[in-house]
Amino acid sequence: MTNRTLSYLWTLLFLAMAVILSIAIGAVFIPPADLWRILTGSLSGTTLSEPLKTFAFIIVSIRLPRTVLILLTGAALSGSGAAYQGLFRNPLADPYLIGVASGAGLGAVLAMSVQWPYTFWGLMAVPAASFVGALLTVFLVYALARVGKAVPTTNLILAGVAFSSFATALTSFFMLRSTGELRRAISWLLGGASQAGWGPVLTILPYLAIGLGILLLSGHTLNLLQFGDDQAQQMGLDVTRRRALILIAASLATAAAVSFSGIIGFVGLIVPHVMRLWFGADYRRLVPLSIISGAGALLVADVIARSALSPQELPLGIVTALVGAPFFLWVLRRAKNQGFW
Amino acid sequence: MLKLEALTVSYGPRHVLNDISLEVNSGEVLALIGPNGAGKSTLVRAVSGVIPIQNGRVSSGDADLLAQTTMQRARSLAVVPQAVSIPPAFTVWETVLMGRTPYLNFLGQVSAKDEEITRLALTRVDALDLAERRVGELSGGEQQRVLLARALAQSTPILLLDEPTSNLDLHYQVSFMETVSSLAHRDNLAVLVALHDLNLAARYSDRVALLVDGRIKAAGTPRQVLTPELISSVYHLPVQVIPHPFADVPLVLPGKGPPRA
């Protein structure tokens, strides 16, 4: 078996185990054997016994939507993290670097400072605002960084970092001033899929499919960009246009993820790095592997967030940082002197 | 062949290149020499379409290269940059295969023909045995050969090289320039190479163009351009030019000559 097949096999196995764990663990533990019985039972149409029926209800209406939402969020953050790192040729790049996430946060907090009616559209206002905030940020930062027709990478990062600080300050300001759903805003900002049901999943799915779909097809472009703008262009790549396409796709995915799950750091930074260390720097493989493993990693973090201090639930962003950072440092120590960047 | 007509490039109000006209024929090496800051790298970037030009025309036969799309141009003209800051994690094979980009689709899917051309390009620069190595593990001389192979994989009639020898030791300088010379003379490419080293230029080029402050100050055979008067005035340094001991080219030596007794 080739290395390539093996790398996909490992990451898919990891994701499958994370999904099972995420469905099984919670306020009520559902043994994997029962999971299997429910799955085969529902597929073959046989009636389930009474306790299994309860489990099935919990799974379909609570666990599964949350699992899918977290899975998509992890996939989006990690996939766009890999893309941003390739795009900017910067190991520190992640969805936060160019201000996309902060812009989304600002949009969301602005929306939360208004008292929305408790209806479907009221619930939708916050994610919609964060989505708009993220996309406006991309265009603003891109316009600020532009010199003539070109958009130098350094300018983009500087404009992103500057705007990010500005947006974060504004966010803090509005949170201090706001009287309404402050608690909700704080818990959202720390990261946590507080909204249940299939609504959020269905809302972000189209954006994610487009965003991640484009990223999955952009491996070759990202490979060429590793040589720098000049060389990529001399090898025949239309750098400005292709880079804008990847930037928008990655931001679309990020905004979709941030809009429901809040600010979850580290996944977009760490997962692509670990994938690069283990499986190499070819973006045609790095992007899909990051998407798969990012989904798995965030699911594991979510399981820890739900069960570590049960029944209290920890914000997901805290878990990813507390668990992710030491794990990353451990991987980095073991791989030192490889010069993978 | 490559033809530059009245090429002018400016950064703001300052002309970096001023009214440059040059011709590089197929089967010929033209060395572009000149002091630091004369505009050698700018010329390579402008001709390859990376920076915009204010005036002039770059053509190959009937084709106006700068009016073409990036992809079309990359089928006519390939650039060998200096081997600094190239991504270390790709293998040599992956790196050279990326030279096929102008012939590939959006996804970069390669055919057996692309792989065959990649193999030939690596063989041509004597680097086929490096194929599976990572670029970061290679020496500077090996990396420079890999970049040459990547340019050859673009299968272009025109080759531009931007000071390819400046980070190489003596052995690699000579063997690299010998390969470049044979690419022009045996494979009939039009080669324009920016060089620091006047004696490498004298030894391995058919013609030399001297670029000073963004203008072509002189162009011709090495013997015509590398005169003590011209080189002394341009480099602000007294030089002697003597016949090469075994090749029919001039040899430039800095200094005033032996002290008179």
Higher-confidence residue: B141 or A154? Answer: B141
Which residue reads 């013997």 in tokens? B223
Interchain proximity B94–A282, CB inside 8 Å? yes
Superfamily of domain B1-76+156-221: P-loop containing nucleotide triphosphate hydrolases (3.40.50.300)
CB A130 within 8 A of CB A73: no
What is the reported pLDDT for B115? 96
Pick the closest to residue A284 from B90, B74, B72, B121 (CA basis): B90
* Angstroms from A337 CA to nearest CA on chain B: 12
What is the reported pLDDT for B113? 95
A53 touches chain B (CB under 8 A): no
Interchain proximity A224–B89, CB inside 8 Å? no
Q: Above pLDDT 70, what percent of chain B?
A: 98
What is the reported pLDDT for A313? 79
Interchain proximity A236–B81, CB inside 8 Å? no
For residue A62, give the amino acid letter: I
Pick B106's closest partner by Cβ from A148, A217, A340.
Answer: A217
Pick the closest to residue B223 from B208, B245, B234, B240 (CA basis): B208
Interchain proximity A235–B69, CB inside 8 Å? no
Whole-number Å distance between alpha carbons of B174 and B169 = 9
Interchain proximity A223–B94, CB inside 8 Å? yes
Read off the tokens for A87.
Answer: 């795009």
**Chain A residues with beta carbon closer than 8 angstroms to that of B156:** none
**Chain B residues with beta carbon closer than 8 angstroms to that of A281:** 87, 89-90
Mean pLDDT by 10 residues, chain A (341 residues): 84 94 83 80 75 80 88 93 86 75 83 67 71 84 79 80 89 74 62 64 85 95 93 93 89 81 81 88 94 95 86 82 81 62 51
For chain B, the residue count is: 261
Domains and CATH numbers, chain A: 3-334 (1.10.3470.10)
* Burial of residue B51, with CB atoms counted within 10 A of its CB: 0-12 exposed, 13-18 middle, 19 or more buried: middle
Peptide bond into A311 cis (omega under 30): yes
Pick B70's closest partner by Cβ from A148, A217, A237.
Answer: A237
* Angstroms from B136 CA to nearest CA on chain A: 8
What is the reported pLDDT for A277? 84
What residues contact residue A240 under an 8 Å CB cut-off, 6+ apart?
A149, A150, A151
Read off the tokens for A301.
Answer: 């973090």
Interchain proximity A236–B107, CB inside 8 Å? no
Residue of B nearest to A239 (CA): B70
* Burial of residue B255, with CB atoms counted within 10 A of its CB: 0-12 exposed, 13-18 middle, 19 or more buried: exposed
* Angstroms from B109 CA to nearest CA on chain A: 9
Q: Which of residues 225-244 of A touch B (CB under 8 A)?
A: 226-231, 233-239
Whole-number Å distance between alpha carbons of B140 and B171 = 12
Strands (E) across B25-176 are located at 28-33, 55-60, 63-64, 77-80, 158-162
Read off the tokens for A103.
Answer: 């812009």
Mean pLDDT of B34-59: 93
ipTM of this complex prediction, to 2 decimal places: 0.91
Q: Residue B129: which pLDDT band, with cuts at 50, 70 and 90?
A: very high
A276 touches chain B (CB under 8 A): yes
Q: Which of residues 108-167 of A touch B (CB under 8 A)?
A: 148-149
* Angstroms from A231 CA to nearest CA on chain B: 8
Interchain proximity B90–A223, CB inside 8 Å? yes
What is the reported pLDDT for A48? 73
The domain locations on chain B are 1-76+156-221, 88-155
Higher-confidence residue: B256 or B64? Answer: B64
